[in-house]
Amino acid sequence: MDTVSALDATTPEISDDRLQSLFSAMERDGYCCIPDFLTPASLMTMQAFVASSVRSSQNEYVVFRGSEAVKGSGLDELAQSTRFQSIFSRLYVASRNKPAPAVEFYQLLRCLTGKGMMQHSLNFHYDSYLVTALIPIVIPTTGRAGDLLLVPNTRPVRGTYAGNLVDKIMVDKIRQKSLRTRALNDPASFTRIKMVPGNLYLFWGYRSIHANEPCDPDTVRATALYHYFDPHADSRLKARLRR
């Protein structure tokens, strides 16, 4: 069995009919969930990687960017699964009505814990990528769990990077304080996602304002993120601003 086939053997196959149901849920509710997406063995391997990483960081916040950074955790292998990639390409087709670009992920593993936990919580934002997939690896079972708060589908895909930049500045710099106040005083006004380790959650990260709530500093909240398709990847303005 080749490597790709071996990866797909432990990755659920999502039928076209189910994919359409997932897409409809993302349009209607702002997100969808595939329960028990990871096998118990895969989840245990990822949890062991998180535990080792948190120990190495002296029980403080740590983030890994890219597939190489999480090599050996199983998260790197999942990114290569054709069944996993197919979910993203078919969601793209369903939402954009045109062929999907090759699936290349911007991949993160965030381990939220320790004194710096608050600094990395309630930071509301739009993602730069159309589809965001979130896989909880470790979620606190006592106290605050670090739920995901979502204001779903509040903007379209902008035709220009400049339009996207204005949206992001509005949330990052102008609306941030009011969103945090709202999260503290009226949390029920957000779509709340209470996450279960091993499930797969999908939402339109580009179109939706979102942030994680804090967890207690003596607990660990670890989530893997896979981002797909930057609508402004070829923007010359974006390239100039990043020089």
DSSP states of 24-91: HHHHHHSEEEETT-S-HHHHHHHHHHHHHHHHHTTSS-EEEESTGGGTTSSHHHHTT-HHHHHHHHHH
Question: Up-side HSE of residue 239: CA atoms within 13 Å toward CB?
Answer: 4
* Poorest-pLDDT segment among 1-15, 106-120, 121-135: 1-15
Q: Do residues 103 and 89 make contact, with C-beta atoms less than 8 angstroms apart?
A: yes
Beta bridge partners of 224: 109, 135
Q: What is the DSSP letter of 215?
A: B
In this prediction, residues 196-208 reach a mean pLDDT of 98
Task: State the Cα angle at 204 between 189 and 61, rounded to 5°.
Answer: 75
Structural domains of the chain, ranges and CATH numbers in brackets: 3-231 (2.60.120.620)
51-110: per-residue pLDDT in tens? 999 999 999 999 999 999 999 999 999 999 999 999 999 999 999 999 999 999 999 999
Three-state secondary-structure class, residue 105: strand
Q: Do residues 131 and 88 make contact, with C-beta atoms less than 8 angstroms apart?
A: yes
In this prediction, residues 36-57 reach a mean pLDDT of 97
In this prediction, residues 9-36 reach a mean pLDDT of 96
- Distances from the Cα of 151 to the Cαs of 51, 57, 93, 145, 158, in angstroms? 31, 32, 23, 19, 18
The span from the CA of 145 to the CA of 14, in Å, is 29
> Which residue type occupies 224?
A
Smallest CA-to-CA distance from 46 within 140, 116, 135 is with 135
> In this predicted structure, what is the pLDDT of residue 1?
46
> In this predicted structure, what is the pLDDT of residue 4?
55
Could you tell me the pLDDT band of residue 8, with boundaries at 50, 70 and 90?
Answer: confident
Close Cβ partners of 122 (under 8 Å, ≥ 6 residues apart): 149, 179, 180, 183, 211, 212, 213, 214
Smallest CA-to-CA distance from 203 within 226, 221, 186 is with 226
Name the average pLDDT for the chain: 95
